[in-house]
Each structure stands twice: as structure tokens, then as C-alpha cells.
Chains A and B, each alone.
Chain A
Amino acid sequence: MTRLPIFKLVLATLVLGALQSVVLLQVNWFGDAAATATGPIDTLMDVTIVVSSFVFALVCVFLGYAVYKWRVKPGDEGDGLPIHGNTKLEVWWTLIPVLIVVGLAGYSWAVLVDIEKKDADRINVDVYSQQFEWTFGYPDSGGKSSEGELHVPVNRQIDFKFHAQDVIHSFWVPEWRIKKDNVPGITTDAVITPDREGTFQLICTELCGIGHTTMRAKVVVESEEKYNQWVAGLKEKVSPFLLTADQAFEAQRKAEEREKGIEGSGVEETGSGDHSD
């Protein structure tokens, strides 16, 4: 059995992996960034790209070498060497991947905790989605509302609460990196801190019917004064239809109670009188 040029193969893997990493890191994968969460998320992506590059290079180099070295010559009807395995090697290629994925999982967890941290001075914005339009409510400013256009101040954390009226929709501003489903019957939420002024697009990413493609809204991130002026200038309030037809609040309150209810009384109120249908 010829000795394997292990050193050369590993070197080739490292070189190819490094080369791939460098090329792939040149690509601006996620596009523009406009929120504080993008920093840790994009770094996590870069780290993952580097790790993946080396894994892919490893497979390519070893496969390429094997095919180059041991491709059969015409007329050779012989068999390969009767090697059935190598326990030590098999243990290694089980353990090392475990370490890699556990490491990446731990890192992801840390990033997740980081991007979901809530600031004390955050402001609340309600998002109401229905086929096929977006409505926004500003409860901190007296329940004002806007349709098809969302304004938020820059450098303040926004605590979004999502309400869906009919089917599932999903809230996504690619430049913010955050996505959340709007689920009928419950209220979901996400915190986002925009850190760049500008105009962005809000995209519905959960298939919601025939108009799914066109279910977009304009997102304007502006200075806090401008934002306050804009909200003050709003005439409409959140329509009672959105508030009452949405029994979501009630269901959500109950769900939260259940969650807390482990130490609570567990007794549920019946009939809040709000929806007598």
C-alpha cells in the first residue's frame, strides 16, 4: 500500500479553502445593511462561509485526488485493495464534525440572544397584515395609523407587534435581516433597531394568495424629529375593524396566561364581553 501524501492533501485543502473563502467573502451576500442586528448576523455568515469553504475544499481535494490517482487503466479488471475501514479514522471524522457544528450552534445562539435583546426606551409599532395590504399603528402616539407606508425613527429600538387578519403573512425588510410571520389568532413580535436613514421595502414572504407578489409597503427610516412630525400629522386612527375583528389580542392574552400559568392559578376568565358573536 503506497503511503498517502497526507501532508500535501491537507495543504491543498487549506490553500483551496482559503482561496474559496477569499473569493466568497468578496461577495456582498446579504446586500445593504440598515439595522444594528446586521453586524452580528453578517459576521456569523462570514464565519460560516469560511468554515464551509474548508469543508467543501476537503471533499473536492480528496475526491479529486482519488479519481486522479486511482482511475482504472483500460483493460484492468482487477479489484482495489481489500480495506474495510479504519476505526480510528472513523471516530475522528465523527468527533470533529460534532465539535464544528456544536461550535457554530453555540455561536448562533449567542448571536440570537444578542439580536433579541430588548432596550428599555424602545417604542411600539403595531403591524396589521391582510390580503394584500399592510397597515401600521403607532400606539405610543395615540393610536394613529398609516396604510401602506411605515415610518420609524433611526437609532431607536422598535418593538413590532404583528397581527394578521385572514391568513399568515410574513414581515421582512431585507436590509434589517429580520423576518417574522404574522399569524392570525396570535400576536407575534420582533425587535429591530434601524441604524441608517433611508427608504426601504417591506416584503410579504409567506404565500398569502393571488396578490402575494404585490404585497409590499414602503418603509421610511428618518430622524426622530421628522418621525414625530410625521406621526403627529397622521389623521387616521387604527380602524376599529382591525382592532376588534382581530380576536388575536384575546387569544394572545390567554396564551401568555397559560405560559405564565404554570405558577398562576390556571383559572381562565370567560367572556370578556368584547365579541359577543
Chain B
Amino acid sequence: MALRNPGWYRGALGFFLGAAFGFGLVLALRAVSGLDLFQTEDTGYPHIVVPMITAPFGFLIGFGAFDYWFRWAAGKPTVPEDHSDHGATRWQDYFKFNTDHKVIGIQYMVLTFAFFLIGGLLAMLIRAELAQPGSQVVGANTFNGLFSTHATVMIFLFIIPMFAGIANYVVPLMLGAPDMAFPRLNALSFWLLPIAGIIFLGSFLAPGGAFDAGWTGYAPLSGGAPLGQTFFNVGVQFAGASSIAAALNFLVTIITMRAPGMNLWRMPLMAWAQLATSLLVVGATPFVAGAQFMTFFDRILGMNFFNFLEGGDVISYQHIFWFYSHPAVYIMMLPGFGIISEVISVHARKAVFGYRLMALALIGIVVLSYSVWAHHMFVSGMFSWLRVPIMISTMLIAVPTGIKVFSWLGTLFYGKIQTQSTAMLFALAFIVTFTVGGISGVITAMIPLDIHVSETYFIVAHIHFVLFGGSVFTIFAGLYHWFPKVTGRMYDERLGRVHLWLTVVGTWLTFVPMHWIGMDGMPRRVVDYASQYGDWNLVISISAFMLGAAQLVFVYNMIVSWRFGPKAGSNPWRGKSIEWLVSSPPPVYNFTAIPRVVGGPYEYGTPGARHAIMAEDEEGATVPTPEPSKVTAS
């Protein structure tokens, strides 16, 4: 019976049962309390809000996310080694509750890339409206919804989970682990994401339109906003829970499941970066969940956390929100730093320069990033004494970031730089573009300058240089770099270069002029602007359309190469870390036996040096003893 086995049918049934339960509960409680059955004034709508929470849980239960845990909790016999939901042999297996980290990694990457295209489409609409002064495409209400959902989709459904997806695929392989520590939790983390996506995008159907208080959702504006804002409050909980569960999984995997011989100082920087990111996610994400719960309670239950008329404190919302959302910037950047270290080292055929300092810099950023949240609030009216300490810690965070940039440059020196590789070109483009974002970051940290530029297009320019020129470039570098590993096929480098150049030029042409118009006086989040900015906005819009179109080249390249590309072999880049020592794609359980790690991950140029020895090699017993690495003169 299809309805008794976990899967889409039972999931759909669970969805309807969950929705009916929530709906009935609200109506019953309201009837018992003698209230009108339906409350549709103001921000209420409990008969929509409660099912919005119960229906996804019904779906997840029906889909099979909790079957094993329920059986175990009920004392029924469980099969610890039941791998029936592990691995994929057909494309349908990717639409199931699957516990294989490689399947989950692909699920993450494909789904989040779809969200990237949706978020990009929203951006195209925004730029169409802003191409000329006056009203072009949408009205003010829709426009506010567009930029709010654009940012939310890109942050919560693309950048953060895309990194989780890439890491999901490669980090266990790099560690020599057969899977993540908690495969079922891993699958649950993934399936929370489409739910968050449907809720965020579903808000467009809500009466009053999509949430439109910005992705920052500042109180009290968000407190009184129409129903759509509740979709944001709830969607963030699902995306946040996904993120936290994935981070816990990474922490346990990285700390306990490294192959024998892999001490912390033999761990690839990709794994270091994921460790650092996970520390941030676990510590900070609960704060955004809290901020949204408090707004939610203010809106639905009439609480007064941020209601100034009843003694609520408006500014405390910003403190709680940014205590997550500044570290979130590093959650969106540190995994990219890890990717860049791998890509540059492999494609320059050289050890990462200053490996230990690189790892320590990641940890330094984690520690510092908890002390800089209030630099988003220099003009907010918060206590003025906090500004200068926050300015200093914010500017100091440029130091570990600078260390990383200098070390990547150092890695290039005396290497063999493979400039034909699209992955490498994206890494190089990232270094230059991200440096600009870093510099404008220092400018916005300096209070007297920030007072002028905050809430202007300068900020829009800065975050896009950091998140597009930074995070998205690293994502592309990573996707190109591990594409042969994931699919077993090579992508087309020529199309890759077309994509690269259109993207790089598009990024610079789109976001550089925003610095100028912002400083000159154009505020952000406006649907219309003074006519003197018309010309620059037209340039920006045309460049943005080019940037958007360039991504279609990538989509074409990936799809066609996945199907028809030449076979890649297990190690097309001649990498040293463990993921390159297994077949492409790797076998279902990754390794026939756990590999043994005997050296650092980047032993390029040292004859005979190896990072890991695979079980298959051990049987031959002709493994050369690795020499200690040393600098040889030439």
C-alpha cells in the first residue's frame, strides 16, 4: 500500500492531515473561547498561520523523516544497518528521503541553485523597475516585497544551504568518512529547506502581498505588516532549523569521524572552514530564530517585545537580529574561503602558503565576528558608547581576512598555475573582486563615513561585492572544481570561460556604479529616485540583465556536460586530498575500507609525499614511505 510506506503519497496525506489538524485546532479553541471563528483583521489569520506550521510537520512525518526515530522511541525492533534509503541508482531516488551524504549533497546543490535562479529573477524585476526614474513595472508595495524576498531567498535558500550542500558532498570524502555522523538528521536538514522555500515564496499569495519589511524585518514596521510577514517569521524557523541541524552534523562529523592519522593539522582547509562555519551557525542562528519568534508573538499573540507603546524596546530587535545576521555574513563567506584554498592549491600545484595561520585565521574570524554586530547600528540611536569599540573590532576583522588573501597570493608564487581551468579563474576573480568588497567593508566600519553611507546604494554595492563577488564566485569555483567528482564527467571549459567573463564583467559593471550613486545621495530600498541617477541606473540594469543571462550559460554547460560530457576519471585535477582518491562518482559507501592518512593535504612538489593511503594500495604493500616535505632550491 502506497499510503503505508514512506514517500510522496504518504507525505501528501500527512500534509493534509497536518493542515486539517492545525485548522481544526484553531477553530475549536476559538469556538471554546467564544471568539469569531475566523480572525482576519490586522496581523492575525491564526487559521492560516497554525496550519502553516503543522502541515509541514505532517508532510515530514508522512514522507518518512521520523519513521526510524519513532520506531526506536516506541521500542519496536529497528535495524541499525538498514541501508534501504541510502544511495541512488535511478533519478527517482533523488526525490526520496535519502540518507546518503552524496545524494543529499546533490539534492542541496540542485535545489538551492533553483532558488538562485528564482532569486535572480526577482532581482531582474527589481532592476527592470529601477532602469529609469518613475514607475515602470511594479508599484511600491510589490517592489518592497520583491527586494525583501530577493534577499531572503538568496541568503536563506541559496548561499547558506548551497555551501552546506557542497560541504555535504565533499567533506565526508575529504575526511575519509563513510558518511556524515547522523545520516537521518542530514536528510531531515535537507527536507526542511524546500518547506522554507515554499513558505517564503507562498507569501506572494497572501492577502496584502509578500513580506515587505526587508529581509531585516525591522520592528515595529514588521510588527504591523500584513500576513505575508508571518510567512517570513515562520519560513526563517524552518531554514534556520535546517542550518543548525546541518551544522551540528558537520561538527560531530569533523571532530569524531576523521580517518586514522588525520589530526587537525592534516585536515584540508575546506574541512577547517566548515568547522569554523558550523561553530558560527550553532552559536548565532538561534538569535535570528529568536528575533523572528518574538516578532511572531508580537503579531499573533499580542505580546509587546518590540511594541514601544506598551513598553517594548524597538532597538533591541536590531541587537538580537544582527547578533545573528552579522556572523551570517561569515557563515556565507568562510565555506567559500575553504573552497578557494582547495581550488588554488590544486590548480597551482602548490601547498597552501602558511596552512596553520590560514586555519587560525578562520578561528580568529569566528571569535571576532561575535563582537561586531552593532556596526549595522551606528545611526540607529543605540547607546553611543558602543560605537567605537565595535568600530575597532570590525576593522580588526580585516586582519585575518587579509591574511587569507595574502596567503592565497603566496600560494600562487612558484606554482604551476592552470589558467585554463574555469574553477581556478573563478578563484582568481574572487580574490580581486572580494578585495574591493573588503575595502568597502572597512569604509563602512569607520563611523563618520558609515553615518553618511548607511542605508544607501553604497551598502547595496558593498554587500553585493561581498556576497556575489565573494560567496557566489567561490560557489562557482567549487561547483566547477568538484563537478567531475560528483558527476564523473568533465564540463566544457570553453563555455566555462564564457560564463566566467560574462559574470565577472557583469558583476563589476553592475555593482561598481552603485558605490557612486549611493555616496552621492541615492538611498536604498526605494522604488523611484531623483532623475539625476537615471543614467547610472540604466547602466546598472543593463549590466544586471547581462549578469543574469550569463547564468544560463552555466546551467546549459552543467546539464549537457552531466549527460554527455567526456568521462572524467577519478582524479582529473591530480589532487591529493582523499576525495580525489576514490572513483568519480564515489562508490555508495565511499570506501571499501577507511583510508589511512600519512601526511598533510597539500604535499605538492615533494616526491613520494602522500596525504592518504587507500586500502586498495595497502594490499600491494609497495607504498613508498613519504619523505618529510622540505624546500628545494632550483
Contact = CB atoms under 8 A, between A and B. Distances in A.
Given A44-B446, A63-B431, A82-B605, A1 B314 contact: no
A48 B379 contact: no
Given A90-B357, A183-B380, A247 B309 contact: yes
A62 B448 contact: no
Contacts of B631: 1, 81-84
9 contacts: A55-B439, A67-B428, A72-B416, A76-B416, A78-B416, A84-B602, A112-B388, A201-B530, A213-B529
B28 interface: no
Q: Which of A27, A40, A67 has the most CB of B within 10 A?
A: A67
Interface stretch (A100-108, A142-150, A217-225, A266-274): A100-108
Contact of A213 (B349, B436, B528): B528
A193 to B, nearest CB: 15
Q: List the 6 shortest-distance A-B pairs measured between CB atoms, nearest first.
A: A185-B308, A80-B415, A174-B521, A188-B381, A80-B350, A82-B605
A29 B221 contact: no
Contacts, number: 269
A172 B523 contact: yes
Contact of A79 (B356, B447, B604): B604
Nearest to A78: B416
Interface string A161-182: 0100011101010100111110
Contact of B379 (A56, A104, A180): A180
A86 interface: yes
B583 interface: no
B399 A94 contact: yes
Nearest to B603: A82
Contact of B452 (A41, A59, A72, A112): A41
Interface string B325-364: 0000000000000000000000011110111110000000
Interface string A65-85: 011001110001111111111
Nearest to A107: B446
A111 B448 contact: yes
Given A93-B402, A105-B391, A82 B604 contact: yes
A98 interface: yes
B449 A44 contact: yes
B535 to A, nearest CB: 15
Contact of B455 (A4, A84, A172): A172
Given A44-B446, A66-B412, A67-B412, A79 B349 contact: yes
A198 interface: no
B442 A30 contact: no
Size band of the interface chain A makes with B: 35 or more
A205 B456 contact: yes
Interface of A: 1-2, 4, 27, 29-31, 37, 40-41, 44-45, 48, 52, 55-56, 59-60, 62-63, 66-67, 70-72, 76-86, 89-90, 93-94, 97-98, 101-102, 104-105, 108-109, 111-112, 115, 162, 166-168, 170, 172, 174, 177-181, 183-186, 188, 201, 203-214, 247-248, 251
Contact of B409 (A62, A97, A248): A62
B78 interface: no
B4 interface: no
Contacts of B399: 94, 97-98, 101
A168 B632 CA distance: 63
B448 A84 contact: no
B627 to A, nearest CB: 10
A48 B453 CA distance: 14
Nearest to A171: B379
B414 interface: yes
Contact of A97 (B391, B402, B523): B402
Nearest to A38: B452
A243 B59 CA distance: 52
A179 B356 CA distance: 43
B395 A104 contact: yes
A183 B315 contact: yes
Interface stretch (B105-113, B174-182, B212-220, B269-277): B212-220
Contacts of B405: 59
